[in-house]
Copies of this chain bind each other. A is one copy, B any other.
Amino acid sequence: MTASPELRADLRAEALARWAEASASPDELARGRTDRSGDLGTAEPLAVVRARDVPQVQDVLAWADARGVPVVPRGAGSGLAGGAVANGALVLDVAGLDRIVSIDPVDEVAVVEPGVVTADLDAAAAEHGLLYAPDPASAGFSTIGGNIATNAGGMRCVKYGVTRDAVLGLDVVLADGRLVRTGRATLKGVVGYDLTGLFVGSEGTLGVVVGATLRLRPRPVGQATALATYVDVEAAARACAALGAARLRPSLLELLDRATLEAVDAFTGSDLGGDAGAVVIAQTDGPEADDEIARIEKVLADDAVSVEHTSDPDRTDALLAARRLALPAIEARATALIEDICVPRSRLAEAVRGVERIAAETGVRIYSFAHAGDGNLHPIVTWEKGVAVRPPEVDAAAARVFALALELGGTLSGEHGVGTLKRAFLGDELGADVLGLHHGIKAALDPRGTLNPGKAI
């Protein structure tokens, strides 16, 4: 927002007077300024409004749109790409709209407000033998609204799909404050354009989600887990490709590289990195889980240093620990830029090798782990702990990672979004014509450019 200090002060005073839920306390402004990307953006928020209800969301947007005040919608602030960075805007926090309105166990549909924590919805669904499938690593604290904004994925989306696949319909407040409903409560429907899909993943640039009708699934019973170690990441990636070629469909398929294993060993005292250059973890579910894991283990065993499988819950936790602790282990020793490229899964080995080359050539330490079944690789580009400002060589390494993804026929982001961090690279992936279509759609839905300017597109 480029308004003068005087105008900003007037607008802030007007906002604080208008809504009891508005605040400009130092704590609120600091909290609303950034998200988990750590990007501080250009300026603190004009103010933060913790919305009380949908009419208030409408009022905030109508007020802001009429005055040319940019608005940044916000949930838990757990985004990794900077989508909720304030850049001086009015921050509209909808995390307080957190009711699970209904779960229909026959239709397998949930109606929720945007502030519901993802894992809470899944737990409520579980009481009916149902599953809310998308499970980003942040599921314990991220909200459905934020998951919708970024089209969040997770580990089990390799079998059950991403957030978009779970969203049947949305209640959205448009930039000018009108409330609209997109999609439907039915499992199929082809009337009109897929506006629901358009809002999913639009990172708050087209409207503010204030309600969602979500598809649940039968919760699988039974689970089995296998872990295999390999001399290097290429052997591990080949094993993942072989699973695909054998038409096996695990419900989770994760790969960890040597650097990540070393970080986990240092963090937990384990010895995964001892004789292993890479680890693959696979999981199956459903009544056939044990038979399937046996078939998977057989494929993984080819070329493996070691392989085991289990359906014992405690041993399962032990096998999954390396994956679950990968990021905390890395963040215990370094400051991390969490990247998120996705490539055709046949090219995963090339992607990991390319990332290793970039690390070697730039001297930047990069840890890699991947949702291997989707070809979705998280290169964790790191620098010295305690150094707040990201060093230029880290940005340079990240830029090379993005170029690598495109070179391999992939994308800059599999599940985190573009936000502020990847926006400079957007044209490289989309091209000028497609980017032009984005701006045409943005102008049609948000003609004054009120919603989350400078993000995503």
Contact = CB atoms under 8 A, between A and B. Distances in A.
A421 to B, nearest CB: 12
Given A104-B346, A180-B431, A434-B192, A411 B198 contact: no
A410 to B, nearest CB: 5
Interface stretch (A105-113, A254-262, A296-304, A314-322): A105-113
B201 A198 contact: no
A443 interface: yes
Contacts of A108: 244
A190 B150 contact: yes
Interface in A161-190: 161-162, 164-165, 174, 178, 180-182, 184-190
A443 to B, nearest CB: 7
A427 to B, nearest CB: 10
Interface size class of A (residues with CB under 8 A): 35 or more
A437 B433 contact: no
B438 A247 contact: no
A426 B187 contact: no
Contacts of A433: 174, 178, 180
Interface in A405-450: 409-418, 422, 426, 429-431, 433-435, 437-438, 440-441, 443-445
A190 B106 contact: no
A190 B416 contact: yes
Interface in A77-96: none
A218 B247 contact: yes
A89 B422 CA distance: 43
Given A106-B346, A184-B410, 9 more contacts: A104-B344, A186-B344, A186-B414, A188-B376, A188-B411, A188-B415, A189-B342, A198-B441, A441-B445
19 contacts: A105-B245, A107-B345, A107-B346, A129-B247, A180-B434, A186-B343, A186-B376, A186-B411, A187-B373, A191-B411, A191-B422, A194-B198, A195-B438, A197-B198, A198-B198, A198-B441, A440-B444, A440-B445, A444-B444
